[in-house]
Amino acid sequence: MTVGAAMLALVAVGTTSAQAATSVTTHPTNCGTGSVYEVSNIHSDRIGMIPPSSAPGGHTLGITLTAGTSVTGTITGSVSAEEGVIFAKAKASVSVSIAVSMSASVSYSDTWKVPSSWREGYLHAGADRKVMNWDVGHYGANCKWVISRKGVAKFPYHIPAFWNTRG
């Protein structure tokens, strides 16, 4: 067969010579074979970095988060070799700049008057953080998703955060 005839045969079946010459390993049902890390259920919450101050209704509370106080992110259910991958996936999935660890660079203070109708109030100081579920899995037989490990990741993204709660 001449080169021209071979090209004509490839065009007739809808491929190019580059596609025909490329050896590609695919899953028999084209669903992929590699492990994939996913994050889901991303939401914000807060983490206290120091014990809260408390007082009965009608009183004013004060709290200070001093310079050097730090908070560290956590990842449950992982092995240390994959924590960097989980952090990178989390960072790409949120619209804020998360960190593995953050420290207050200066001191921050806040005050709050507990409403007189409350029995007790608490003033908290800490950081805002992103919380998410993570899993790593792969496609098994019949393209069924198989989760091999999963956990929860929590990463700080803003210091300071002040909030109050009712006691």
Separation between Cα atoms, residue 76 and residue 159, nearest integer Å: 23
Instruction: Tell me which of 24 and 43 has the higher pLDDT.
Output: 43
Q: Which two tokens stand for residue 148?
A: 């091999």
Residue 25 confidence (pLDDT) above 70: no
pLDDT value of residue 29 = 57
- Whether the CB-CB separation of 123 and 117 falls below 8 Å is answered with no
Per residue in 132-157, pLDDT tens?
999 999 888 888 889 999 999 999 99
Judged by DSSP in three states, 139 sits in strand
Dihedrals phi, psi of 93, to nearest 5 degrees: -100, -5
The residues near 113 (Cβ < 8 Å, ≥ 6 apart) are 58, 59, 60, 61
Separation between Cα atoms, residue 78 and residue 158, nearest integer Å: 24
Domain boundaries, the chain: 35-166
The 3-state DSSP composition of the chain as helix, strand, coil percent (nearest 5) reads 20, 45, 35
pLDDT value of residue 13 = 36
Q: How many CA atoms lie within 13 A of 43 on its CB side?
A: 5
Q: How many CB atoms are located within 10 Å of the residue 78 CB? A: 19
Does pTM surpass 0.85? no
Separation between Cα atoms, residue 41 and residue 150, nearest integer Å: 13
Give domain 35-166's CATH architecture: Beta Complex (2.170)
> Please, which pLDDT band fits residue 36 given cuts at 50, 70 and 90?
confident
Residue 15 confidence (pLDDT) above 80: no
Per residue in 72-96, pLDDT tens?
999 999 778 889 999 999 999 998 9
Mean pLDDT for the chain overall? 84
